[in-house]
């Protein structure tokens, strides 16, 4: 798609506007995963920035972490030790996996900043669990205030509305792409999504709405060519991996990723006050393996496959990601029982073996094609 509205997303990934906003007097707080209540961070006056890892050799982080934790966390720490995240005022993280929880303390001791906090998260949705989460979020609010923030019901209401609009707009982009009215390659579409993690939300909403309106106004359609597939995993930070899938004969029409659909699913919550709406949204969003049993994820995954028209699932998992690896056999069995084939591939901190991935994908598509 040769669109002037695509350029801002690419610029966002190269220039990191959140970093630029900090240089103008604002403050940014980093986070690792999508269970972090970014609405509260924003409502307190900070810019939430999702910390990225990517592909890199790990050297300095070797002295602080074992080599059998997920590549994303190790590379992110490596980048922080090299000074790439010195613009952050700290890290706020939802307690999802043990590695993320432990890395918060390593960052605090070695990177520094004004705020480091892990939000405990309940596993079950019940009145008692919601009361527990409310108390946890009130503790976060106190820490944000101590770090120089100021959050009120009014500011939280505005942040909830802003992020709700962002998620709804991105969901519309998903639907436009599936209908062929957003002629972006899979790699470019995921670049659009990634830009939202490093761009102030007010700016990202404008960018996303312009892209949506441009696509909605055209009568042209361009259905993705290739075998339609869904990619599943924790996070895929390198869009080139999606390009390899499509070059090998696939068409990525949907995903089950925390850097994709899981982040934007269930745009808003319900409730009598802003905190109750925030809690409701996070309790009802599509769960990740660290927060629920594999059996409870099966209906969500099958429904995504059915709705998108995907004919297979490609699992792209971070090496040593215990929650996802533990779920994988259960999900594969459930998919097989429903006649849905799948392929598994593991990603490392130094990247993937492109030739091997391409060969396996080509064979996979030949079988199901």
Question: Considering the entire predicted model, what is its pTM?
Answer: 0.93
**How many CA atoms lie less than 13 Å away from 327 in the CB half-sphere?**
24
Tell me the pLDDT of the chain (369 aa) as tens digits.
445 578 888 888 876 656 666 655 679 999 999 999 999 999 999 999 999 988 888 999 999 999 888 889 999 999 999 999 999 999 999 988 888 889 999 999 999 999 999 999 998 999 999 999 999 999 999 999 999 999 999 999 999 999 999 999 999 999 998 888 888 889 999 999 999 999 999 999 999 999 999 888 877 666 667 999 999 998 888 888 899 999 999 999 999 999 899 999 899 999 999 999 999 999 999 888 988 899 999 999 999 999 999 999 999 998 889 999 999 999 999 999 999 999 999 887 666 678 888 999 999 999 987
How many other CB atoms sit within 10 Å of the CB of residue 82?
Answer: 13
Residues in the chain: 369
Four-CA torsion 178, 179, 180, 184, nearest 10 degrees: -30
The domains of the chain, with CATH numbers, are 16-155 (3.40.50.11890)
């Amino acid at each position: 798609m040769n669109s002037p509205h695509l350029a801002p997303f690419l610029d966002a990934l190269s220039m990191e506007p959140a970093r630029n906003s900090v240089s103008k007097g604002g403050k940014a707080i980093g986070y690792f995963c999508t269970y972090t209540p970014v609405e509260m961070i924003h409502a307190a006056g900070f810019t939430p920035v999702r910390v990225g890892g990517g592909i890199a050799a790990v050297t300095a982080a070797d002295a602080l972490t074992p080599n059998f934790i997920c590549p994303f966390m190790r590379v992110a720490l490596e980048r922080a030790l090299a000074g790439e995240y010195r613009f952050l005022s700290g890290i706020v993280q939802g307690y999802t996996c043990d590695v993320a929880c432990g890395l918060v303390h390593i960052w605090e001791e070695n990177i520094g900043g004004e705020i480091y906090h892990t939000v405990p998260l309940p596993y079950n949705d019940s009145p008692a669990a919601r009361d527990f989460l409310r108390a946890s979020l009130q503790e976060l609010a106190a820490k944000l205030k101590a770090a120089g923030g100021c959050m009120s019901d009014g500011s939280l209401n505005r942040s909830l509305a802003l992020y709700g609009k962002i998620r709804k707009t991105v969901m519309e982009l998903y639907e436009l792409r599936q209908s062929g009215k957003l002629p972006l390659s899979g790699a470019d579409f995921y670049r659009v999504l990634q830009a939202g993690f490093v761009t102030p939300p007010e700016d990202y909403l404008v960018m996303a709405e312009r892209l949506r309106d441009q696509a909605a106004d055209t009568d042209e359609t361009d259905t993705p060519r290739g075998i339609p597939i869904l990619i599943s995993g924790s996070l895929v930070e390198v869009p080139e991996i999606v390009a390899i899938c499509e070059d090998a004969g696939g068409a990525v029409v949907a995903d089950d990723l925390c850097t994709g659909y899981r982040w934007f699913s269930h745009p808003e919550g319900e409730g009598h006050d802003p905190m109750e709406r925030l809690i409701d949204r996070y309790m009802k969003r599509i769960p990740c393996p660290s927060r629920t049993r594999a059996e409870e994820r099966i209906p969500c995954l099958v429904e995504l496959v059915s709705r998108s028209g995907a004919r297979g699932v490609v699992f792209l998992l971070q090496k040593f990601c215990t929650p996802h690896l533990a779920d994988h056999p259960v999900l594969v069995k459930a998919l097989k029982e429903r006649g849905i084939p799948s392929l598994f591939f593991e990603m490392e901190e130094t990247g993937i073996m492109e030739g091997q991935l391409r060969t396996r994908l080509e064979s996979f598509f030949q079988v199901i094609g």
